[in-house]
Amino acid sequence: MKAIASTISQMIILCVLGLVVGLSVNAVRGKDHINLWRDYTPKINDGNTGGTEADEPQQPAEPAKERPFQILVLDQVIEIFEDDKTAYGLHVFVDARADTPYQAGRIPGAVQCDYYRMDFYVGSVLEYAAGAEKVIVYCNGGECEDSLYVCGELLNAEVPWGNIYFFKGGWEDWERSGQPIETGPKE
């Protein structure tokens, strides 16, 4: 009985210690800090329920935050990429992936905005987005939801809904199509 009580008290001490150390270290972590109160998985409208195609007149009745984002497919993204406006910063590509995949390969010129480290990136992304006509957000493609989360955050940060585009096929489609890529850290 005494041994059981002692084991349980040891477990409690270890759990409390884990909690204290975990919270303390998290508080001083820079980029990898987890915001305890942030909803990292907000409800998003992924466009599957009547998603909108880009370049069509967009004036749906519902408020901007409830509208599905404008979806782009590979051909449209390539067209935008090859447009002169891209070179002038009027079309901005936003990569919603983490450091490792971003540095391994991205759409040339894409700005990183890892959704889970939003606080770290949002300032610079908003600077790029401020003067842009089109902000094209992508992540891995497939089941990846991070780009939609970033679209939501951009909308929250007052980037006009009409300027935000969601590249559904994402990196997988881009890489598979043999388009040019950029690697390494962003200069």
Partner 1 sequence: MEKRLSLIRRIDNTGVPLLLARLFVGSIFAWLAYNKLLDPIEFLKQTREYHLVPEDPPIFLTLTAVVVPWLELLCAAALILGVYARGAAATLLAMLLFFAPLLLIRAWHLYQDPAGGFATFCAVEFDCGCGTGEVFICAKTLENTALMVGALLALLSRSKRFCLGALITRLRAEKTSSAAFERA
Residues that bind partner 1 (CB under 8 A): 3, 6-11, 13-15, 17-19, 21-23, 25-26, 29, 32, 34-41, 98, 116-117
- With respect to partner 1, which residue has the nearer C-beta, 29 or 186? 29
Determine phi and psi for 180, rounding to 5 degrees. Answer: -65, 150
Match 């040891």 to its residue by tokens: 10
- With respect to partner 1, which residue has the nearer C-beta, 24 or 58? 24
Q: Provide the minimum distance between the beta carbon of 117 and partner 1 in the complex, in angstroms, as a whole number.
A: 7
Q: Are 135 and 163 in contact (CB under 8 A)?
A: yes
Across-strand partners of 166? Answer: 71, 137
Across-strand partners of 164? Answer: 135
Q: Provide the minimum distance between the beta carbon of 166 and partner 1 in the complex, in angstroms, as a whole number.
A: 20
- With respect to partner 1, which residue has the nearer C-beta, 38 or 186? 38
Determine phi and psi for 94, rounding to 5 degrees. Answer: -120, 120
- With respect to partner 1, which residue has the nearer C-beta, 30 or 178? 30
Q: Provide the minimum distance between the beta carbon of 56 and partner 1 in the complex, in angstroms, as a whole number.
A: 31
Q: Provide the minimum distance between the beta carbon of 156 and partner 1 in the complex, in angstroms, as a whole number.
A: 16
Secondary structure class of 166 (helix, strand, coil): strand
Q: Which residues contact 77 (CB under 8 A, 6 or more apart)?
A: 107, 136, 138, 167, 169, 174
- With respect to partner 1, which residue has the nearer C-beta, 32 or 75? 32
Q: Provide the minimum distance between the beta carbon of 34 and partner 1 in the complex, in angstroms, as a whole number.
A: 5
